[in-house]
Structure formats: structure tokens, C-alpha cells
């Protein structure tokens, strides 16, 4: 009889599948307080006046570093929202079904008041405090930030119509999350969306063809019936939307609920969900209004000035969200490099990798500093508005710096995500690293709510409307005058850029880039450690750097810059 001889590895006592040891891989980055370990953010929130939120942000940071970061973000993206147009009996329902992880993220956002803090808190600098919380929560995932932002941003627009604000503001600022499609008054809370973009025009919303017809008289606050479509309408399960539509008086803004006051469904019909590059946990839809009921918000024909209040606040969040995304890139890149060795050294100790990592850290810190300074401008502008001041310095700075900041920081995001991804080598290209998700998300903030050119032109518009805003902006930048010759020279060159108004539109991107770099340079020179400010000024202002990350000049304190931004694990 034949016998099967014993395999050599069995004889040696080893498992048959054991071909190798796994080593030289980074350990999972778990249990990190994603707020407290973000030193540039902690310093910025204290500097900009909202230090009171640190303990609370740290509690959120510890929470986010657990399940939200490890599980929820991934699950919400792997299990994409599904459109259910009909129920099993054939009734039209127009609902979108989400994975439970999406609802967990939304609940986290609402319970932590990311959508409401500036409208409800009695503490100083609540916008600044909220920015720190928002940046912390977004370390888990970016998609849910879209409806959270729209719910936050709708409040100042709602206030254009006091009776609608009285009805809806308590609902959108409630800190409970209830995704059911039932009357918001029954739930005691609401999520808001916005629908402006149509097929024939998104930037140019005045080309909207959707029509609103008054049901009984018309005018501000009056009921209307709306017929038309929207080509992009994100978070279509929201409880209500601000919608632009044409009236006899011109483009006007409307508040359109999904559920009518009698409990029935509004004629708000979802056509399909967008198959998007990224942001896949969030649903973005195409919708049609077949005689949908809505009430006019603000004055007839003043749709753009009314909704612009909402748009401005969403642009602020584009900047804060971009800083959050860059932080995710820095954390992953530095963590991997600290634990992975190649050619006899840890990657973080390889001179060229140090240059790449330090450059990524500098960019993320410059973006964080700008975002937090901008958030404080919203606090100061609000204080002035409460004191019935119009066109105050803070209000002018906020208006201009929002456009400047959104253009520049959002433009810097995709390459930052790509370079962070590449620091992980091939593993960074693999979904389970989370880096492809970061990379796919990165271009969105630049497109949404004013694409790059539109933001550059918006800067020129702000300058034309109020020439004094340039003075106010430069006064902020020049607070660092004399501290760094490279910054001083850049500010002088920037001023010259405004010398030839005839070609200003063609040069708008360059001018806005110059403004953003001077503002970031000024903030870092005043507030960041000299290593960070020095690297920024050399590479971004004095031209001693290349077109790619990792081109800081030799002599920069690479180690110090990385150590400051690296999560400790």
C-alpha cells in the first residue's frame, strides 16, 4: 500500500500555509485623539479666540478616532445610497436608502452641533469653535459634511423671511437627527439642502428656467407652485430646500419642503442619482418639480442676494473641509513613513522623503491657519452685524478672504491628496488604505459653490463693489510687515498686480493666488514656528521651490516641521 510521506514543514512543526513573516508594515493608526494630535489646529483655535472648545473638541477627537474613522466612513462609501422611486405596491415614494453608517455619521454631526453652534452658542467665537469641531469630525469621512454644511449655512438665508425663520430655524438648529420623511414639526428637527444648478447653467444661475407661479397674490413669504428641474441637488432626503425659480419679478428664492403641511409628499421627484467621481457616501440627484409647493424667501426678484448668504457660508466650509482633508493626508503619510523602512532606513529618515512630508505638512498648516482665521472673521462680522454695522472691516475681510481662500485652498487639495497617497507607495493606491477615497473627494470643493474661475471673478467683484476691501485685506497681511523680507517683497509685488485694470480679468487667477499666498505667509510668519514659516516663505513666496511637493530648499528644518504635524502613536 502506498503511503504519503510527511511534508518537511510538518516535520518541522510549522503550519503548511506559513510562507513568510509579515513585517515592515505600519501598525493601524487607532485610538488617536484626532483633535489633540493636530497641533496646528489646537494652536489656531486658541489663537483665534475659541480655546474654550478644546476640551469638547478633544472628546470628539477621541470618539472620531475610534469607530467613525475605522469603520463608518468606509462602510458609508462601500454601501452607496440607493434610489427607491416606488414602493412595492407601485406608489411613487422618491426615497434614497442609506447604509446605517451614513446615519451614524449624520447623528454624530448633528449631536456635536456642527450644523448649529454659531446660531445657538452663547460662547465667544462660535464659528471658530465650530470650525475646529467640523475639521475634527471630517477626519472620519467627508461625504456627510455636505448636508451638515447646508443645514448650517441655510440659517442666515432663512432670516430674510422672519416668519419662515421662526418656523424653521428651531428645527434646523435642533441637535437631534431623525432621517424619517415625515413633517419636520413632528420630528422637531430638520436637514436642509439647496437646489440652484440647472442643466443649462450652474455658475450662471440667472439662466435658470424653472418657473414659480403665485398661488394667492405672490410676494415675499407667499405660496407658489414651481415647475422645472434641477441638475444637481445633493442630499435629496433633506426636509427642505432653498430653490431658485423665475417669477414675473425675476429670479427669486423659495423654501420648498419635501413633506407638505398636511403630511402628504410634495411634487419633488428624483429622476436619478449622480454616478460621481467621489463623495459616494452622499447622494446627489437630478430632480424635477411637477407643480411643487413652496414659499418665497426674501423679496421677489432678489433670489441671488437671498441665497448668497447660504452660498457664502458653504464656501467657508469648503475651506475648512479642505484643511480637514489635507490633515488626513498628512496623518496617513507621516504615520506610514514613520513605520516603513526602505534601503536601510525608515522612510521618515530618508532625506528626500523628509522633504516631501515636510512640504505636505507646511501646506496643510497654511490651509488650517487660513481656515481658522477665516472662521474668526465670520464671528467678528456677525458681531458687527448684530451692532447694526454695515461694511465693517471684518465684514469686508470676510467677504474677500472667503473667495480668495476657497479658490486657493481647494485648488491645492487634489495634488496634496495625490502626493500623500504616493507616500504610502502601492498600498496608497489600494482602497482599504482610505487614500483613494481622499483623492477622489479632493476636487469637489473647488467645483461646488463656485468653480475656480468663478471664485477668481468673485474676488474681482468684491473689490469692485467695495474698493476699501483691498485695503482691509492688505492691512491684515501687513500685520507681519518687517518680519520676513520675502513676505514684504511678495506684498509689494501683489500691490503692483492691481495696476492694470484692463487685463485684470485675464490675470485673475494669478492675482488671487498672490493674495492667498500673502495671507497664508502672513499668518504663518506671525503665528507658526519659524521652521514652518521659513519653509513657506522660501518655497511659496521667494520661488525657492518647484512645481511639485517635495521641493523645499535644503536647509529647511524638515525634522522639526514633520514632528510638529505627525500624529503621535
Ligand X SMILES: Cc1cc2nc3c(=O)[nH]c(=O)nc-3n(C[C@H](O)[C@H](O)[C@H](O)COP(=O)(O)OP(=O)(O)OC[C@H]3O[C@@H](n4cnc5c(N)ncnc54)[C@H](O)[C@@H]3O)c2cc1C
Binding site for ligand X (CB under 6 A): 193-197, 201-204, 232-234, 276, 279, 284, 444, 447-449, 451-454, 457
Residue 200 CB, nearest approach to ligand X (Å): 8
DSSP string, 52-93: GGHHHHHHHHHHHTTHIIIIIHHHHHHS--EEEEE-TTS-EE
82 or 485: CB nearest ligand X: 82
Vertex 197: Cα angle to 279 and 372 (nearest 5): 55
233 or 369: CB nearest ligand X: 233
What cell does 166 get? 421662526
Q: How far apart are CA 210 and CA 243, in angstroms?
A: 9
Q: How far apart are CA 180 and CA 238, in angstroms?
A: 10
58 or 284: CB nearest ligand X: 284
149 or 522: CB nearest ligand X: 149
Q: Which among 198, 238, 293 has a CA at the least distance from the CA of 94?
A: 238
Q: Which among 3, 4, 278 has a CA at the least distance from the CA of 142?
A: 278
Vertex 387: Cα angle to 384 and 388 (nearest 5): 90
Q: Which among 172, 191, 190, 267 has a CA at the least distance from the CA of 234?
A: 191
275 or 390: CB nearest ligand X: 275
Residue of minimal Cβ distance to ligand X: 202
404 phi, psi to nearest 5 deg: -60, -50
Residue 196 CB, nearest approach to ligand X (Å): 4
150 or 523: CB nearest ligand X: 150
225 close to 188: Cβ distance less than 8 angstroms: no
308 or 447: CB nearest ligand X: 447
Residue 254 CB, nearest approach to ligand X (Å): 13
Residue 205 CB, nearest approach to ligand X (Å): 8
Q: How would you class 387 by CB atoms within 10 Å of its CB: exposed for 0-12, middle for 13-18, buried for 19 or more?
A: exposed
Residue 134 CB, nearest approach to ligand X (Å): 18
DSSP state of 35: T
Amino acid at each position: 500500500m502506498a503511503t504519503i510521506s510527511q511534508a518537511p514543514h510538518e516535520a518541522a512543526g510549522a503550519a503548511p500555509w506559513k510562507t513568510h513573516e509579515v513585517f515592515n508594515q505600519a501598525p493601524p493608526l487607532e485610538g488617536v485623539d484626532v483633535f489633540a494630535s493636530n497641533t496646528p489646529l489646537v494652536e489656531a483655535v486658541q489663537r483665534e479666540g475659541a480655546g474654550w472648545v478644546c476640551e469638547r473638541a478633544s472628546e470628539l477627537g477621541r470618539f472620531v478616532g475610534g469607530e467613525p474613522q475605522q469603520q463608518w466612513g468606509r462602510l458609508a462609501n462601500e454601501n452607496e445610497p440607493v434610489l427607491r422611486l416606488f414602493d412595492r405596491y407601485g406608489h411613487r415614494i422618491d426615497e434614497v436608502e442609506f447604509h446605517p453608517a451614513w446615519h451614524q455619521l449624520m447623528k454624530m454631526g448633528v449631536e456635536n452641533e456642527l450644523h448649529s453652534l454659531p446660531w445657538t452658542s452663547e460662547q465667544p467665537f462660535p464659528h471658530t469653535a465650530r470650525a475646529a469641531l467640523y475639521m475634527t469630525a471630517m477626519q472620519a469621512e467627508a461625504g456627510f459634511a455636505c448636508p451638515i454644511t447646508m443645514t448650517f449655512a441655510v440659517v442666515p438665508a432663512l432670516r430674510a423671511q422672519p416668519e419662515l425663520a421662526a418656523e424653521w430655524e428651531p428645527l434646523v438648529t435642533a441637535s437631534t437627527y431623525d432621517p424619517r420623511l415625515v413633517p419636520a414639526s413632528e420630528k422637531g428637527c430638520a436637514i436642509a439642502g439647496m437646489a440652484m444648478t440647472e442643466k443649462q447653467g450652474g455658475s450662471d444661475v440667472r439662466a435658470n428656467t424653472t418657473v414659480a407661479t403665485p398661488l394667492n397674490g405672490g410676494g415675499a413669504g407667499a405660496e407658489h407652485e414651481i415647475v422645472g428641474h434641477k441638475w444637481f441637488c445633493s442630499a435629496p432626503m433633506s426636509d427642505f430646500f432653498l430653490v431658485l425659480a423665475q417669477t414675473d419679478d425675476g429670479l427669486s428664492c423659495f423654501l420648498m419642503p419635501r413633506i407638505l403641511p398636511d403630511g402628504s409628499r410634495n411634487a419633488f421627484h428624483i429622476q436619478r442619482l449622480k454616478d460621481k467621481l467621489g463623495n459616494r457616501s452622499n447622494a446627489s440627484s437630478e430632480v424635477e418639480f411637477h407643480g411643487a409647493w413652496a414659499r418665497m424667501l426674501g423679496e421677489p426678484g432678489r433670489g441671488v442676494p437671498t441665497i448668497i448668504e447660504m452660498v457664502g457660508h458653504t464656501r467657508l466650509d469648503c475651506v475648512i473641509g479642505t484643511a480637514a482633508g489635507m490633515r488626513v493626508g498628512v496623518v496617513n503619510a507621516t504615520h506610514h513613513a514613520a513605520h516603513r523602512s526602505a534601503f536601510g532606513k525608515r522612510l521618515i529618515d530618508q532625506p528626500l522623503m523628509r522633504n516631501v512630508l515636510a512640504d505636505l505638512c507646511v501646506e496643510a498648516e497654511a490651509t488650517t491657519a487660513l481656515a481658522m482665521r477665516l472662521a474668526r472673521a465670520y464671528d467678528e462680522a456677525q458681531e458687527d452685524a448684530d451692532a447694526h454695522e454695515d461694511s465693517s472691516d471684518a465684514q469686508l475681510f470676510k467677504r474677500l478672504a472667503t473667495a480668495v481662500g476657497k479658490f486657493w485652498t481647494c485648488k491645492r487639495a487634489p495634488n496634496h491628496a495625490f502626493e500623500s497617497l504616493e507616500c504610502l507607495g502601492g498600498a496608497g493606491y489600494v482602497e482599504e488604505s482610505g487614500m483613494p477615497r481622499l483623492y477622489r473627494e479632493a476636487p469637489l470643493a473647488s467645483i461646488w459653490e463656485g468653480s475656480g474661475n468663478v471664485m477668481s471673478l468673485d474676488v474681482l467683484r468684491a473689490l469692485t463693489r467695495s474698493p476699501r476691501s483691498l485695503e482691509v485685506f492688505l492691512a491684515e497681511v501687513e500685520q507681519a510687515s518687517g518680519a520676513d523680507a520675502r513676505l514684504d517683497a511678495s506684498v509689494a509685488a501683489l500691490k503692483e498686480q492691481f495696476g492694470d485694470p484692463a487685463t485684470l480679468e485675464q490675470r485673475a487667477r494669478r492675482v488671487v493666488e498672490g493674495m492667498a499666498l500673502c495671507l497664508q505667509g502672513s499668518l504663518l510668519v506671525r503665528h507658526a514656528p519659524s521652521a514652518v514659516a521659513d519653509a513657506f516663505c522660501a518655497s511659496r513666496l521667494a520661488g525657492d521651490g518647484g512645481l511639485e511637493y517635495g521641493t523645499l530648499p535644503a536647509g529647511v528644518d524638515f525634522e522639526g516641521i514633520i514632528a510638529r504635524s505627525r500624529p503621535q502613536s
